[in-house]
Amino acid sequence: MDRVRIGAGQGFYGDTPDGAIDVALHGDVSYICFDALAELTMAILQKDRMRNPEGGYTRDLPHFMRRLLPAARERGIRLITNAGGMNPHGAAAAVRAVARELGMPDLAVAAVSGDDLNSDIDDLRAGGVELRNSDTGTPFDDIRSRTVFAVAYLGAQPIVDALRQGADVVVTGRVADASLFVAPLVHELGWSFDDWDRLAAGVVLGHLMECSGQATGGNFSGDWQSIPDLDRIGYPVCEVRSDGTAMLTKPPGSGGRVSVDTVRQQLLYEVLDPRRYMNPDVVADFTTVQLRDAGDDVVEVSGVRGMARPETLKVICGYLDGWMGTATIGYSWPDAAAKARAAATLIDKLAARAGLEPLEQRIEIIGVDSLHGGAAPEVAQPNEVVLRVAARFATEDEAARFPRITMPLALNGPPFIGGGASPGGPRALLGVWPSAVERSLVESRVVVTVTRAGEH
């Protein structure tokens, strides 16, 4: 095969399946890839698994499959998703259950596991793996007793293995976002795993597609007012040639826009060093990317260069990091911001009197400085603001008590318009610890299991 068309189906946990359905029905694709994970998502899914050992995957996965499998099956489209999160086998079982409901007992579903390192942390450390914090150099001992999960970022290889085994749906845990898209390119176009330029091209294309509508005009910081029909924005579709050059577009008739401007904004999204964009499969040089408007809603992507893949894999550990209590109070004109600042000072005094000492606290005046912080310009007289005070405590009890001490301000503070504690009460907080581990220690553990829906 000298080219293949792949589509994007999801940019985050909670995304709509409508974009993926549009890609399936009108994108003329052979694959749809779904990126459901982020560091925060892994923490959310771990909380789910702590409450229910059978959970730990994205709860919208069955909904996506019910909506998509009929169209995908009819058109021969294969689906690849990292929605397995902390429990890819449980997620694959959920997909098989949906397939049985839909009368598809022969649907082959692959589960890719081995990224979860939690049960082997002590063995890895005994073997010399330090797991120091990549950002600070802090020893792992600082959080070991509080660690609740540890996952490594896998590359495309196990997905390629699943596709070679005939999987119609591939469900993984923490596979790197762009690698989801690299896998069908390697499988269909015959790329080798040391062809650095082609792999880098695949990573660039995966990076452009992983955030669903963000490359097709969503979240656009340019002339966003002129982007048409954002209510039905088209998700990216890409036709990739065997040499790595590609045409990026979207389903015909869908909303949004594909242009050099929208695409290059996504290209720079979440990029630390554009000359060395690290991925488990390759190190891509984003400064070599060439973008060209090649027609209405079509951008050609070419010229990508790459370097040998890293010898280590990124690892993310999650650890218990206290409890958050939050209080919100609204204030109206006149002097809305001044009232909020005065209330924040009163809250500090009330907390101290109650013996509450936050480990960390964030004060923001929504409508004035919640997004830009100290860089926010002075606002003369906003019509209304909301004071939000979020505090981190060592215990759940302290976090629960914190918003209660602000209640007297309803009558005893500056004139206000309403407020209270955040819904749901105190929240358990998980910290994120970035590190790295030698890739061979992880890849030797990876297992690909393909099971048909009719098998039990």
In a domain, 418, yes or no: yes
| 206: three-class secondary structure by DSSP | helix
In a domain, 430, yes or no: no
Do 443 and 325 have their domain in common? no
Do 180 and 64 have their domain in common? yes
Overall average pLDDT of the 179-204 stretch: 98
CATH of the domain at 325: 3.30.70
- pLDDT of 245 above 80: yes
* Residue 40: per-residue pLDDT: 85
In a domain, 168, yes or no: yes
294: tokens are 């090649």
Do 106 and 42 have their domain in common? yes
Give, in degrees to the nearest 5, the angle at Cα 353 between 352 and 356.
45
160 within 8 A of 186, measured Cβ to Cβ: yes
Do 151 and 219 have their domain in common? yes
Do 244 and 115 have their domain in common? yes
Do 74 and 181 have their domain in common? yes
Overall average pLDDT of the 32-52 stretch: 92
Instruction: State what percent of residues in the chain have pLDDT above 70.
Output: 99
Output the pTM of the full model.
0.94
| pLDDT mean across residues, the chain | 96
* Residue 421: per-residue pLDDT: 66
Do 30 and 82 have their domain in common? yes
The predicted-structure confidence for 284-325, as pLDDT tens digits, reads as follows 999 999 999 999 999 999 999 999 999 999 999 999 999 999
Of 175, 184, 187, 177, the residue nearest 91 (C-alpha): 175
The predicted-structure confidence for 146-169, as pLDDT tens digits, reads as follows 999 999 999 999 999 999 999 999
Residue 370 domain boundaries: 320-425
Number of domains in the chain: 2
Band of pLDDT at residue 196, cut at 50, 70 and 90: very high
Residue 260's alpha-carbon distances to 47, 206, 247, 265, 336, in angstroms, are 40, 16, 12, 8, 42
In a domain, 309, yes or no: yes
How far is it, in rounded angstroms, from Cα 284 to Cα 396?
Answer: 44
How far is it, in rounded angstroms, from Cα 142 to Cα 91?
Answer: 32
Name the packing angle between helices 179-189 and 157-164 (round to 10°): 50
